[in-house]
C-alpha cells in the first residue's frame, strides 16, 4: 500500500482522508500534518492515523510515496518550504490548492520534483466530486495512476496535459457548486415572491435541484435532451425558458461568470 502524507486536513483534505480509509488504505500508512493539537488528537483517535503538528515531528528519513498538499493557496509557499527535503526520496507532490501553478511548486521544491496540480470540488465531501489533474514532466505513469486512485476516492477524475486549461477547469467545476447552490437559492426566493410559504418554496427548490442533478448523473442523455423532455410546446416550462434562454439569459450570464472566474484564477496564479 502507498505511504501517504496529508499536509492540511480541512474540509477537502478531510474528505479525501475518509475516502482513502473507505478505499482500504490502512490508517497506519497515512500521516497527517495538522497544526491544531486538538484536531490532530481527534484525527488520531477517530481514524487511527499518525497526526503530527508539523514537519519537524516527522521521523528522520521519512519517505512517503505521495505528499498531498491541501492547504490554502495563500499560505502554500511558506508551508511548502520545509518539505523540500522530501524531494530526495522521489515522492509525487499532489496539490489541490486552487490557482497554484506547477511552476510555483517547482520554484520551491526544485525542477526535479514530481508535481501534480489538481482541482477537485466540494461534492467530494459526499463522494460525488470531480477532479481534474495536470502532471509535470517528472511524474511517472505509476505515480499518475496512484494519484488517480487517491482522487477517485472522492469522485470522478480527468486529466489534462495542458496546464493552461486549469483556469477554466477551476471556473467550471471548482467554483461550479456555488452556481448550483445559487440556483437553488434563487428558485426558493422566486417561489416565495410567487406566494408560496417560505419553507415550502425552499424545500421545493432544494429537492428539485438535487433530484435533477441525480437524474442528469444517472441518465445517458445530454443535458439539452433532458431539458427538452420536460418542455411541452406552449406550456409552463416553455414560458419560463423563453425568459431564461432569451437575450441576456442564463447562457450569457454563465459565459460572463465563468470568464470572470477564469480570469481571476489566472490573476491568482501570478
CATH code, domain with 246: 1.10.3730.10
Please say whether the beta carbons of 99 and 73 come within 8 A. yes
Tell whether 229 and 115 lie within a shared domain. Answer: no
In order of 78, 96, 191, 201, the CA distances from 236 in angstroms are 55, 43, 15, 18
pLDDT number for residue 139: 98
Tell whether 157 and 196 lie within a shared domain. Answer: no
Inform me whether the pLDDT recorded for 135 exceeds 80.
yes
At 142-200, the pLDDT tens digits run 999 999 999 999 999 999 999 999 999 999 999 999 999 999 999 999 999 999 999 99
Tell whether 184 and 157 lie within a shared domain. Answer: no
Tell whether 118 and 219 lie within a shared domain. Answer: no
At 91-110, the pLDDT tens digits run 999 999 888 999 999 999 99
At 56-81, the pLDDT tens digits run 889 888 999 999 999 988 899 999 99
Displacement of CA 25 from its chain's centroid (Å): 20
pLDDT number for residue 113: 97
Residue 262 is assigned to a structural domain of this protein: yes
Which residue range is the domain that position 118 belongs to? 4-166
State in Å, rounded, how far the first CA of the chain is from the last one.
Answer: 37
The 3 state secondary structure assigned to 69-95 is: ECCCHHHHHHHHHHHHHHHHHCCEEEE
Average pLDDT across the chain, whole number: 94
Inform me whether the pLDDT recorded for 38 exceeds 90.
no
Amino acid at each position: 500500500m502507498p505511504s501517504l502524507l496529508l499536509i492540511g486536513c480541512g474540509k477537502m483534505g478531510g474528505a479525501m482522508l475518509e475516502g482513502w480509509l473507505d478505499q482500504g488504505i490502512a490508517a497506519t500508512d497515512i500521516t497527517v500534518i495538522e497544526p491544531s493539537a486538538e484536531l490532530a488528537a481527534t484525527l488520531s483517535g477517530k481514524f487511527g492515523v499518525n497526526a503530527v503538528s508539523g514537519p519537524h515531528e516527522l521521523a528522520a528519513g521519512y519517505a512517503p510515496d505521495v505528499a498531498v498538499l491541501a492547504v490554502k493557496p495563500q499560505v502554500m509557499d511558506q508551508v511548502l518550504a520545509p518539505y523540500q527535503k522530501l524531494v530526495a526520496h522521489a515522492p509525487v507532490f499532489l496539490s489541490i490548492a486552487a490557482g497554484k501553478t506547477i511552476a510555483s511548486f517547482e520554484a520551491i521544491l526544485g525542477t526535479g520534483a514530481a508535481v501534480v496540480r489538481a482541482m477537485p470540488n466540494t461534492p467530494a465531501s459526499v463522494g460525488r466530486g470531480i477532479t481534474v489533474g495536470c502532471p509535470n514532466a517528472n511524474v511517472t505513469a505509476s505515480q499518475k495512476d496512484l494519484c488517480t486512485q487517491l482522487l477517485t476516492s472522492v469522485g470522478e477524475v480527468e486529466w489534462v496535459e495542458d496546464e493552461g486549461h486549469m483556469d477554466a477547469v477551476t471556473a467550471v467545476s471548482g467554483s461550479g457548486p456555488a452556481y448550483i447552490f445559487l440556483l437553488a437559492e434563487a428558485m426558493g426566493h422566486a417561489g416565495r415572491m410567487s406566494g408560496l410559504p417560505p419553507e415550502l418554496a425552499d424545500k421545493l427548490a432544494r429537492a428539485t435541484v438535487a433530484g435533477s442533478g441525480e437524474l442528469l448523473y444517472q441518465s445517458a442523455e445530454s443535458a439539452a435532451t433532458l431539458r427538452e423532455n420536460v418542455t411541452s410546446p406552449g406550456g409552463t416550462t416553455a414560458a419560463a425558458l423563453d425568459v431564461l434562454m432569451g437575450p441576456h439569459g442564463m447562457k450569457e450570464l454563465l459565459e460572463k461568470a465563468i470568464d470572470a472566474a477564469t480570469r481571476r484564477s489566472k490573476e491568482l496564479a501570478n
